Amino acid sequence: RHAADARAGRDVGEDDRAERHFREALALGVNDQFLLAAYADFLLDRHRPAEVIELLKGWTRADTLLLRLALAEKAVDAPTLDQHVRTLQARFDAAALRGESLHQQEEARLHLDLLGNPPRALTLAKDNWTLQREPRDARILLEAALAANDPAAAQPALDWLAHGVWDLAWWQIVLYTLATTHITIAAVTIFLHRSQAHRALDLGPVPAHFFRFWLWLGTGMVTKEWVAIHRKHHAKCETPD
């Protein structure tokens, strides 16, 4: 949960909230590569390379984390920078020989920020964009296009940022919002309230599982938690307490 809250805070520009949750996740022993990479990027964007080096100094076997370690080392002119850059190059070259293209975004960052090769970085960023589209993928494509002086190459990312994945018209957005809101209201009223909390309605397994999944996916509600709180509400709402 802390990892997700940290990334959400980072994405909306709430730095204090993001850092608090990053630190709380690490304090709980959550140290998967996705969390460490996200926190390292957060620190790099805020010009705190020394903290990145301390965070990732024992993670040189992971390509995604070694890249961020090298970026931090470049900022402080660390003596291990050249060795780590050569290691990254060798690993990416070996992956290419095997026909793998899992880390093209990181390889693009290597060529752009550490090797000073914007054209190669742009080629990798464009190839990566055909495979996955997240904010960080858009960012490397935009940065590489700018560095390579090829603004047209950035247009797919700009379109994605402006219009989203589906590129919906305004009326389609309104219809989508109305439909999903109505389903959520029905799920709360019929499933959580009448069926689960009060047992006044017996739903079959198909609608019950659909509503449970819909609420979890769209709102994060956990059925048993909502029911427990609602039953506690009814136990006290009509008493002096």
Q: Can you give the length of the chain in residues?
A: 241
Strands, E assignment, the chain? none
209, 217, 168, 7 alpha-carbon torsion, rounded to 10°: -170
pLDDT at site 241: 62
What CA dihedral angle connects 89, 94, 98 and 102, to 10 degrees?
-30
- Rounded to whole angstroms, the Cα distance separating 35 from 56 reads 11
- What's the average pLDDT block by block, 10 residues per block, for the chain (241 residues)? 69 80 85 89 95 94 96 96 97 91 92 97 96 92 97 93 78 93 95 92 92 91 90 79 62
Counting Cα atoms < 13 Å in the Cβ hemisphere of 196 gives 22
Whether 144 contacts 129, CB under 8 Å: no
Q: What values do phi and psi take at 48, rounded to 5?
A: -125, 60
Task: Give the pLDDT confidence score for residue 14 in this predicted structure.
Answer: 81
Q: Select from 129, 131, 174, 191 the least CA-distant residue to 154.
A: 129
pLDDT at 161: 86
Say what the pLDDT of residue 166 is. 73
**pLDDT value for 42:** 93
Interaxial angle between packed helices 33-45 and 15-27, expressed in degrees from 0 to 180 and rounded to the nearest 10: 140
Supply the pLDDT for residue 12.
Answer: 63
Q: What angle do CA 80, 29, 64 make, to 5 degrees?
A: 35
- pTM reported for the whole predicted model: 0.71
139 token code pair: 């960012």
- pLDDT of 126 reads 96
Instruction: Determine the pLDDT at residue 16.
Output: 86
